[in-house]
Amino acid sequence: MLKRILVPLDGSTVAEGVLPYVRALAPVLKAKVELLKIGERDAAVDIANPMVGQYMDRVGAALRSQSEDYLDGIKRTFKDVVIGHGTRIGKPAEIIAEEGDREEDTLIAMSTHGRGGVGRWLMGSVTDKVIHLATTPMLVVKSTDEALPESETELKTIIVPLDGSVLAEAVLPMAMAIAKALKLEVLLIRSISLPTTYAAGPEYAPWPTENFTEEMEKQSTDALDKTAAQLKLEGVEKIRIMVVTGPPAIQVVDIAKETPNSLVIMSTHGRSGVGRFVLGSVADRVVRHAGSPVLLMRAGVVAPTPVLA
């Protein structure tokens, strides 16, 4: 399980939009929360005067003092959670990825964008870079200018996209732990579509039978039913399954938009066999378009799920 949640902030309300989810998940995961305020070195120079480059230590100290006051205010919005905080100056994406790797079992939690005020950084592009740089799990929340960081979020459903591979199923222990603790419904989904080899024509592969879609639907339904039964044995009370037809990313995004108060938990990779999909590219699209928060688990870093053993 995760032991630490790293929350990078830039001082903007939009960036703070991730905080309600961190407040909800930290007690469940029994993880300490570490707030990280980052100031860009170039921004630090700009806030003073053209001669300030020779006084970087003094400027850095001033920024850290301002950050301490800001982070102390954020800390007071948490209850019953161990909170730490710190300030660093430099390139945000590189610092976040480095800090995430500093301790094992860390979850990086951040908004998809956030900008405002002197010395703050554009969090949309930073988040995108961190997704590709970090090796740790990430919780990515799409935030808006109307975000209320002091409010509490109400999660109702965990959406888990599966493709039949062990790598994709590696997220199930995390989904199960959160669902049991918060009494959430788990929605297992699997998307089927015509394989590209079939779509290319019979010169590349035998053309599918007339009942191909029906056969795939039955196989997918049987697989999800088996997974759902095993999750129920582990104590998850509410489980639904859904088999859909079409591009996986589009289907996951549509389902997330149609499911209020949902959290998507998925692996960033996973591919094996007919009808299964490359979860790396799917995860990237889901993060960008779903609207719901997305918890990404790194394939190869998380252990295969014992639920399916």
Task: Say if residues 115 and 121 touch (Cβ distance below 8 Å).
Answer: yes
Residue 63, H or E segment? helix 56-75
Q: Of 33-42, 132-141, 162-171, 177-186, which range is least confident?
A: 33-42
For residues 8-12, give the mean pLDDT.
Answer: 86
DSSP, collapsed to helix, strand or coil, labels residue 232 as helix
Residue with the bigger pLDDT between 100 and 42: it is 100
What's the mean pLDDT when you consider all of the chain?
A: 79
Element (H, E) at 251: helix 248-258
Domains and CATH numbers, the chain: 4-141 (3.40.50.620), 157-308 (3.40.50.620)
Quickly state the pLDDT bin for 39 (edges 50, 70, 90): confident
Amino acid at the residue 292: S
Does residue 296 register a pLDDT over 60? Answer: yes
Q: Identify the sign of the CA torsion 233, 236, 240, 243.
A: negative
Nearest 10 degrees: CA dihedral of 290, 292, 293, 296?
-40
CA 64 to chain centre: 28
8 Cβ neighbours under 8 A, 6+ residues apart: 15, 36, 38, 92, 95, 96, 99, 108, 110, 126, 130
Mind listing the pLDDT tens digit for each residue in 167-211? Answer: 889 999 999 999 999 999 999 999 987 655 455 555 555 555 557
Query: Which of the given ranges, 8-12, 38-42, 119-123, 231-235, has the highest pLDDT on average?
Result: 231-235
User: Has residue 259 got a pLDDT over 90?
Assistant: yes
User: How do residues 79-117 score in pLDDT, each as one tens digit?
Assistant: 888 999 888 888 888 999 999 999 989 999 998 764 444
